[in-house]
Amino acid sequence: MPGFNHPLWLLGLIGLPILYILYLRAQKRRKTEALPFSRVVLVKAALPRPSRRPLTLFLLTLLAIGLIVTGLAGPHVPFAGVHEGVSVVLAIDTSGSMAAADYPPNRLEAAKTAGGTLLAGLEDNDYAGVVTFEAGAMSAAYLSPDLARVEGKLAAVRQKDGPTALGDGLALAVDMADAMPNRKKVVVLLSDGVNNAGIITPLAAAAFAQERNVQVFTVGLGSAAPAAFGPTEDGTMQYADLDEETLRRIAEATGGIYYRSVDGGTLQEIYASLPGAIAREPEETDIAALFFAAAALVLLAECWLRYGWGRILP
């Protein structure tokens, strides 16, 4: 939809009809004052035919002022075919359970490959970043328009063996996505476990995302059968335990979508479809220069009528 960056300037347009009314009153006053000198028929016959030039020049001046005031208001319109850029942050679980080998060669490597597929599907004016989380959260790639560099940082992410600080990871990803103002903000959160570390709960992080207007797509990673990823210190085998309910609630709270992956193939399909799932708005194009150019042309026309060939016109 068309809009204005500084709409308060449009209040100046109220003055245009007021100026026009004042002009008409002044003209009427001049005619009234001239009546005592126009009672003689011969004098009336000698009076010049009324000219339309003063009114035309005045209206051109009002038009130029109106165009300049509208230009100062910062008009903009959606530019068809060009999408507004999006900031996309990949939040990837690197906890110990991501070492499970049910996604060859392991869950983390499969997630990194799928993340690269998503980055390849973004548009040229998009920004991307990467956040990883296990016992805590950290930035692996800061938000950048250099998607190839971000992909390189993603490939360098390494496996950790700590618990899962899902809430901390989401909060940091939201904060990163919100770093660029006036853009659509998206987080893609992937996890295969239950939040059991960190200081921020997943639902508190979801509320933070909702407050910052960040849309969160969540991906639950886990095969149909329980996946072992290594023994504890006492030799007990550990199994990944996916918390689908929390991931679903995060997505619903922020206007995103929850996806469930059961193998490497579905994970690739999910990440390949995500660029298309991100709703994009047409890019707003500033057209203030058009109004200023039109105002300049109107002023030139006024000068031509006032000082050029137009002086001979009635």
Residues 137 and 272 in one domain: yes
- In the chain, helix, strand, coil percent, each to 5? 50, 20, 30
Type and span of the H or E element at 131: strand 127-133
* Rounded CA separation 254/218 (Å): 10
Domain total for the chain? 2
Residue 118 carries which DSSP code? H
Question: pTM, whole model, 2 decimals?
Answer: 0.69
Find out whether 175 and 133 touch, Cβ atoms under 8 Å.
Answer: no
Length of the chain: 314
Interatomic CA distance for residues 108 and 91, integer angstroms? 12
| Residue 297 within a domain | yes
Contact 229, 239 (CB under 8 A): yes
Summarised one tens digit per residue, pLDDT across range 104-113 is 999 999 999 9
Q: Do residues 147 and 109 lie in contact, with contact meaning Cβ atoms separated by under 8 Å?
A: no
* Alpha carbon distance 301, 57 (integer Å): 9
User: What confidence score (pLDDT) does residue 37 get?
Assistant: 53
Give the residue with greater pLDDT, 30 vs 274. 274
The secondary structure of residue 73, as a DSSP letter, is T
Residues 164 and 64 in one domain: no
183 and 153 fall within a common domain: yes
Q: Which domain holds residue 88?
A: 82-283
Tell me: do 30 and 113 sit in the same domain.
no
* 1 located within any domain: no
Task: Write out pLDDT tens, residues 219-248.
Answer: 999 886 777 776 666 667 777 788 999 999
Listed range (4-8, 49-53, 90-94, 148-152) with the worst mean pLDDT:
49-53
Phi first, then psi: what are they for 71, rounded to 5°?
-65, -40
Residue 95 shares a structural domain with residue 211: yes
Residues 128, 102 within the same domain: yes
Cα dihedral 65→68→74→77 (10° resolution): 90
- The verdict on residue 2 lying in a domain is no
Per-residue pLDDT tens for 147-195? 999 999 999 999 998 999 999 999 999 999 999 888 899 999 999 989 9
What's the average model confidence in pLDDT over 137-155? Answer: 96
d(CA 311, CA 36): 29
CATH of the domain at 256: 3.40.50.410
Could you tell me if residue 3 is inside a domain?
no
Residue 64 has pLDDT above 60, yes or no: yes
Same domain, 298 and 259: no
